[in-house]
Structure formats: structure tokens, C-alpha cells
Amino acid sequence: METSVAVNVSRGDSAEERRGGHRSSRSAWCLGVLALVAGCANVAPQATRPLSCDDGIKTAFKPDANTSVVAVREVKKGEQLVAVDSTSPITAAADICLVKLLVGPGATAEKDKTARSYSEGIGIEVWLPTHAHWNERIRNYGGGGWVGGGHRYADKIGSKVPAIVNANMGYASGTTDAGQPWYQDGSFNFLSNGQLNAEAFRDFSTRAMVEQAVKTRALVNLYYGRAPKFSYYDGHSQGGRQGMKIAQEHPELYDGYMIAQPALSVPSFGTTALYPQIVMKTELGYTAANKPEAAAFAKKVEAVNKRAVASCDKPGLGFLLDPFGCNYDPARDAGALCVGVAGNGVTGSNGDPAACMSLKEATALSRIWYGATADGSWDPQQSAAARSGQSLGARQLWWTFTRGTAIGGTITSASADHVAIALQDVRYAADAGTTSSIPFANGSTPVRNKWLELDYAGLADALRKNLAAQPTLFSRFSTDAPDLGKLRDLGRKVVVYSGLADDAIPPAGNVAYHERVVARMGGHAEVQKFMRMYLLPGSAHSSQGRPYAIAGDNNAVPLPKLPGNANQTPAREQDQFFTALVDWVEKGVAPGDILLSSRDNSVSYPVCVYPKRTTWNGSGSPKLASSYACQ
């Protein structure tokens, strides 16, 4: 049986490793993973008698010495389940067996059990439909942000909403806390002595997802007495990164990968996420620590952002079909500048002091829209292709959010987590007064907000250090390897989508990764044989779909139909992108244009296989799909 395969992912905790010399131990860990994956791939499960949903699973499921069954819970049809990411309950559509696992070892370098960096291992939840309701498929689901959750605790639910809905649909669905139990809390990144928690970072980067795949499949084989016909990964945001990491390094673990708005290149976009604060500090004299000033600037940015959309929104949708093509400059818009302000060829005419900008403010916003540089410069003539991720602009370090995207949060809140990690110094993290995220808790020092000391060059140096440490200290958390030859050769399939109004992950970064894959793997036609990407206009960041029309009606933004709170037992046509992936894997039908409709059914159009884009014909009704084409 597959469940007899030993899971040997030994990890060293030598003094050298704790100091950051991880090369040899990481190599040992990688060899352990390779042995595990190879073993699981080559050992065919023997037909066994199916199990019941009771504590007998604790005795029967012993895949290795590091894995224990924490709890077995029988969920009855009609029971209300509250997931970790929503207060709205999911109703169980049928009986489900919830099995909770803990896979050791944890972060062996942390000895303080009260520290948030202490972990006994990787928590996993597996949702198992009844034997009669199971569709003979696995659909594992990813996490978000700094993940975490109640996976390892008998009395909690750690999974996100879509994982439970997957089980409602008949899929066996496994999720993981990625090696730490504190939901969305990145404090685990630092040990209680202030040093970086490299072991936990390794689990978070890769190992947790390998264990998720292998242990879910082993449990499925045992519980149902037979192997699944197909196995899929489905993840959004950090979960999208998790899935892409497995697709890059261990593609044999799944037949198909659904990768939604993935957090690829986190070291780049995460570190440079602090750039708006550096611009504000340098050019305007305040930061998120100065709440009234930051809030006032955020309101002005919102007002000017509406003007940007209005200037580029030719169909009049209230959002941008192609925000990369929008080069709106507030310093050239008299209506954006305060009365009498001399702009670039215009004189300000806006008499609303809460909405108009000075030339300094307008220039600061242009810097923010350009993206991080080492000297605060920007290129007003940057091309649409460069803004889209096909190339970096002059002195540009990374891309930022598109015009038409809600960026007020980057003004009123400092995103310094990845700066602190890059500099391996928790003092650079933001405190509760300057960030809307969960601040890092660490007892080694009370000092925070050293990010306030950084200038343009200092932030660029933090990015350089983060990227330099990726192959060793950070276990290639960047997840940007372009060689997908193994995945291609195995016949696996990947469907990716990114939102063009994503307010958490700049979509140009994901385009940049796709372009690197295209360059490495022989061109668009070759890549489309195994991976297809879509760009979704007006789509903000959310695993269940969230529209954003800054100058219009959110309900009039076409979005994909997705499993979630509002779609708890979706049929095939209500699970659009995943259904396209399934048909590609199981029927050999590659996905093409996918027709999206708004929630109020007022607007429809196709979204396209990249590099084609959704394009309005310039004359037809912008509400009708017939007025659009993929070009």
C-alpha cells in the first residue's frame, strides 16, 4: 500500500544551519523529498477494504514515524461549518469525514514553546466525502498570506472556504497550515532570539505542499480502498504560489494545476511594496505613521485614480480592459491639480482641496505608479509593453499596481514584512500603529519601524539582499523557475489567471514570469501545449472573486464563477476555470476564450489565452460579448 511508504524528510539543526549555512542540510532535505516522491509514484496502492469515519483511522493510517492523526470528525449533512477566512458558514451538502494530521518535525531551532516561531510540524486537514459521494478525484487547496490556521487542532477548522466547497462537490480536498498555526501571522519568520527561522521558511516554501500532496493521496487510498482517478491542485494568492512551486519542482504530484492570482516573485513585489512609503517620506514629508496626512493623501489618490480610469476607459465600463495601456499623468491633467498649480503644460482648475493635488503630490503618485527605483526616478514615457511586465523600465526594480487599482492601502499602511525578512532584522517590521496587517510578534527586541530610516537606495539594497539569499536561506521562495520541462514531459497541465485590478500582487510580475517561461520553453505556441494564462480586467484580489470598478458599478464587472460562500454546490458551469482545466486533463480539450458575465448580468465578454487580450471593437455596445474579441 502507498501508506506504507516511509516519509523521510530529515532536516538538520546544526549550529551552522542556524547561522544561515543551509546548503548541505537543504540538499539532504531535497534528497529526502525526491525519495519520498519517487517512492509514492512507484508504489501502486493495493485494493483494501474502505474505512469508516471514526478513530480507527488513527490506528490504520501510519505512513511514517513523523505523521500522526490528531483527530477524526464526522461532519453530517446540513451541518454549518465556519472556515478560517469567512464568518459566513458553509453548509455541508453531504456527510464528510474530516481528518486532521500533524507531520513532524517542526522548527527544531526554536525551543521556546510560547514563541510564535515554535512549531511541532506541519498541520494538514483532509476533507473526505462519503464513499458514495466521492467523485474519485483529489482537489487539494492552497492557503493565503502567511497561511497558518487550526489544521493541527481537534476543535478548530483551518481550511479556507473553497476547500470545504470542494468536498461538497465530491472531491477529496487536503489543505495545510504550511508549518505554522498562527493564521495570517508572519511572526514565525523570526526565532525568539531574533534570528531568521530558516527551517520554518523551508517548510513554508516547499515541504508543506509536498507533505500535503503525499499524505492526502495516501489517506485517500486507504480511506476509499482505491486510488483516485485524477489529482488536482487548486490555489489562490499564496496558494497559487504554493501550487506553482510544486508544478516547478515536483510536477508529478498532480495531474493538473489551477493557479489563481499567484504570489510569484514575492521577494520582489513584497520588498518593494514599501516603496509608496519611501516616496511619501522623501517627497511629501510624511508616512503611514502620520495618519491624518496619509489618510488625506489616500483620498486624493482615489480621486485622481478615478480620473485616470475616465481618461483611458474608452468603452465606459468604469474599469480598464487594458490598464497597461493607460499612461495617465496627473501632472498633465488640469482637473487633477489644485486651482492655480502649474503642471506640465497645464494649470490646475480643481477647487476641491480634499481631491486636488499639488505638483509634488501628483509627481509622487507618478513615482508610485511607476514602481520602485533605487533613486526615486521614473520614466513618464514608459511603454505599455514595459508596464505590462514584458520588460523593466529605466532603473525600475519591479512593477507596481495598475492605474484603476485601489492603492489606498499602500498609502495608509506600511508593508514592511519582507523588508525585515530581507535584512534579517525584525526591527524593520512595522508595528500595529503603522500597518493594517498582523504585526510581527517577537520578544528579542521591542524596537519596530526601522523601515522609517530607509531611503530609496536602502530599499533597493534590501531587495538585492533578499534576492541574493533566495537559493539558500529562503529555499527559493521566489518561485520563479522558468524551466517547466519536467511538467511538460509528464503531460501535466496548468491554467493560470491574474486580475488586472489586483490590489495585493502586481499582475505585471506574473506576466513577466510567463514571458520568461515562454522564452525558456520555445515560444507561446509551445507553452500553450501545457500552460495557459488569462488576464482578468477589473478583478481585484480574492479567492472567491472581487470586482473593482473605481469609476463604475462593481456588480457590472465580469468575473469567473468560482466556488465559495455564494456558490456552495457549484455545477460544472459555475466553476469555470477549474472546469476548463479538468477538460484539458481528462478529455484533452485545451481551454480557449472563456466567457465571463457580471454579477448583475449586464456585461459579458471573453477573456483570452495570453498573449491575446480582451479588446472592444470600438463601436458595439460595451455590454455585449459580441462587441469584444481576443486580439
pLDDT digits (tens, 9 = 90+) for 260-295: 999 999 999 999 999 999 999 999 999 999 999 999
Q: What domains are defined for the chain? A: 2-260 (3.40.50), 270-468 (no CATH)
Please name the residue that has the C-alpha cell 519517487: 38
pLDDT digits (tens, 9 = 90+) for 347-370: 999 999 999 999 999 999 999 999
> What are the Cα distances from residue 10, in Å, to 140, 304, 522?
24, 54, 37
Residues in the chain: 631
Burial 11-39 (b: 16+ CB within 10 A, else e): beeeeebbeeebeebbeebbebbeebbeb
Q: What is the pLDDT of residue 34?
A: 52
If one counts every other C-beta atom within 10 angstroms of the C-beta of residue 624, the result is 11
φ, ψ of residue 351 to 5 degrees: the values are -95, 10
> Which residues of the chain are modeled with pLDDT < 50?
1-31, 38-44
Helices (H), 169-254: 198-202, 208-224, 238-249
The three-class DSSP label of residue 558 is coil
Q: What is the pLDDT of residue 107?
A: 85
